[in-house]
């Protein structure tokens, strides 16, 4: 609740932010109201950034209340306002959260083209290739779309691959909701399979779902979130119901329903209500189940979440059939079958659109990654490209591959900058990059490490082979005509080389660097291989998962 005492404008904004932020607000209805107040206050204060962030928060609160189409409608202005924001900025993070919200709302409302468009835009963001949690975000959003469209197996594959790529990165809130996505997706696959499965795959899906749910429960102790406390508890209760553990399932479902009603999470509440109907059927309470589900169907109407309506009508059909009320069973089955056909039609239409744009989307993702991994001056790779290359060549990618690495440094480069100007220095670096590229092998990766230092990574190359190749490169540089330099100035480079083996992958850059400085001290314009002492004194480089 906001303060009733008069506040200064900054203090008022501060209280509104605290009340509107979905990360701290436990009541989506109250959060929406606070976010709308914040919109007005930010507009009055001419704070465009805060106004954009408040718009995103409105959409999130609408989604949590189950106001799906309203959330989609409200998202349009905020999406345009945030387009192009740098991914590592506060508004860039808000943009990614908005895209995830649109993907979820569109999926639940059956607006799959809208949902897929947001998910694909999220997947194309450069942050996805640089941040493990951003990659989880993108995978989760796309998987939700596919699951709601009926392709649970593709969705499950995407989620499991994203979790595997995340690996040993620190536990995070995105990991929590991605694990919950695995639970929901495995349950969806179970529903589509259990009546026709003869090979035990349906049972395996429940095991997968339960394992992910129990991991998510552990993360809830670290990343407490009232919405996901409901979602995870409701999903776990559903798994336990289908596994026949009805007493434990009842505890989870009752707790989830109570929590959902207390915080006003109507979409989650109705999903839990549908599961409670299934629980009553599993418990043999057919009449109670049918009455419960009929009320749920009436409450959902025609605008409730598509997947929840399908689940409610199907369970109502089962309860009515068990009681011998075949006319009511047929009525519910007819609605269930019509909703499934509509979902299938939307799935085919959206997949057709995806088929046309997939190549374009993949190309756009690759363009984003290319730009994110390029040095803007020389066109060589940057440290991000180096990190990805070292990770791929090291055991972190699964199988370690021997490689050599050369650290190249321009001799007397400071003199060029000081005496001839930085413009000439930059021109020399651009020209040097081209000389090295022309002399390198096709598999070599060349990156600008910093200043005039350039690294050449040579896969499947021994130290002896690298030494011979670097001698040829050194000669190329020495004999090259350098525009902008005095006629009597001969440009030379010093090169240090290290390789695996004998180096470990995380030591090879430092060992090559030490060898390069030894080449400088020995007179410059020469190639030197790292010694045992260089390797022993080398500093480990953190090879991060890209």
Q: Which of these, 142, 133, 80, lies nearest to 107 by C-alpha position?
A: 142
Active site residue 70: no
**SS3 state at 413:** helix
Distance between CA atoms of residues 372 and 374, nearest Å: 6
User: Is the alpha carbon torsion for 24, 29, 34, 39 positive or negative?
Assistant: positive
Asked whether 71 and 105 are in contact (CB, 8 A), the reply is yes
- 24, with CB counted inside 10 A (0-12, 13-18, 19+), is exposed
Asked whether 379 and 432 are in contact (CB, 8 A), the reply is no
Mention every residue, 6+ apart, whose C-beta is less than 8 A from residue 482. Answer: 428, 431, 489, 491
Round the CA-based radius of gyration of the chain to a whole number and report it.
Answer: 30
Asked whether 227 and 271 are in contact (CB, 8 A), the reply is no
Distance between CA atoms of residues 34 and 516, nearest Å: 60
Q: How far is CA 487 from the centre of its chain?
A: 53
User: Is the alpha carbon torsion for 501, 506, 512, 514 positive or negative?
Assistant: negative
Q: Which of these, 436, 475, 477, lies nearest to 458 by C-alpha position?
A: 436
Distance between CA atoms of residues 56 and 71, nearest Å: 9
| Residue spans of alpha helices (H) in 373-421 | 383-393, 413-415
Q: Give the N- to C-terminal CA distance of the chain in Å, as an integer.
A: 43
Token pair recorded at residue 496: 């240090």
Distance between CA atoms of residues 77 and 57, nearest Å: 13
Maximum pairwise Cα distance, the chain? 102
Candidates 373, 392, 452, 504; catalytic one: 452
Which residues are known catalytic residues?
A: 452
């Amino acid at each position: 609740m906001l303060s009733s005492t008069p506040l200064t404008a900054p203090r008022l904004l501060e209280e509104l932010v605290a009340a509107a932020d979905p990360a701290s607000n436990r009541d989506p209805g109250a959060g929406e109201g606070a976010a709308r107040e914040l919109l007005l206050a930010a507009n009055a204060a001419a704070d465009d950034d805060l106004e954009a962030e408040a718009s995103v928060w409105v959409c999130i609160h609408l989604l949590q209340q189950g106001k799906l189409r309203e959330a989609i409608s409200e998202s349009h202005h905020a999406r345009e306002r945030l387009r192009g924001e740098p991914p590592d900025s506060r508004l860039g993070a808000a943009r990614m959260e908005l895209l995830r919200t649109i993907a979820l709302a569109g999926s639940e409302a059956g607006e799959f083209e809208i949902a897929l468009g947001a998910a694909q835009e999220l997947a194309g963001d450069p942050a996805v290739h640089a941040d493990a949690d951003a990659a989880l975000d993108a995978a989760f959003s796309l998987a939700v779309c596919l699951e709601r469209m009926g392709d649970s197996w593709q969705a499950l594959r995407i989620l499991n691959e994203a979790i595997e790529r995340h690996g040993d990165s620190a536990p995070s809130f995105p990991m929590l909701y991605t694990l919950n996505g695995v639970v929901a997706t495995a349950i969806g696959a179970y529903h589509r399979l259990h009546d026709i499965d003869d090979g035990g795959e349906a049972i395996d899906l429940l095991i997968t779902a339960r394992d992910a749910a129990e991991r998510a429960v552990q993360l809830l102790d670290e990343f407490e979130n009232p919405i996901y406390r409901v979602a995870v508890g409701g999903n776990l209760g559903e798994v336990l119901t289908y596994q026949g553990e009805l007493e434990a399932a009842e505890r989870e479902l009752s707790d989830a329903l109570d929590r959902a009603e207390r915080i006003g999470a109507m979409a989650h509440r109705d999903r839990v209500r549908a599961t409670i109907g299934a629980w009553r059927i599993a418990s043999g309470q057919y009449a109670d189940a049918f009455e419960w589900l009929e009320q749920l169907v009436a409450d959902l109407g025609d605008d409730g979440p598509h997947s929840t309506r399908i689940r409610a009508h199907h369970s109502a059909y089962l309860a009515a059939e068990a009681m011998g009320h075949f006319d009511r069973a047929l009525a519910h089955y007819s609605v269930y079958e019509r909703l499934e056909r509509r979902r299938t039609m939307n799935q085919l239409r959206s997949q057709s659109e995806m088929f046309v744009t997939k190549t374009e989307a993949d190309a756009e993702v690759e363009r984003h990654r290319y730009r994110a991994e390029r040095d803007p001056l020389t066109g060589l790779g940057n440290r991000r490209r180096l990190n990805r290359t070292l990770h791929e060549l090291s055991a972190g990618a699964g199988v370690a591959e021997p490689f050599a690495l050369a650290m190249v440094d321009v001799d007397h480069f400071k003199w060029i900058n000081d005496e001839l100007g930085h413009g000439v220095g930059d021109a020399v670096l651009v020209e040097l990059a081209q000389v090295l590229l022309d002399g390198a092998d096709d598999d070599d990766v060349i990156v600008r490490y910093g200043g005039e230092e350039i690294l050449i990574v040579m896969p499947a190359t021994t130290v002896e082979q690298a030494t011979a190749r670097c001698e040829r490169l050194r000669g190329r540089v020495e004999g090259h005509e350098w525009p902008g330099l005095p006629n009597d100035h001969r440009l030379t480079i010093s090169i240090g080389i290290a390789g695996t083996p004998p180096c470990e992958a995380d030591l090879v850059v430092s060992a090559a660097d030490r060898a390069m400085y030894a080449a400088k001290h020995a007179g410059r314009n020469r190639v030197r291989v790292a010694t045992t002492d260089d390797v022993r004194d080398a500093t480990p480089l953190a090879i991060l998962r890209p």
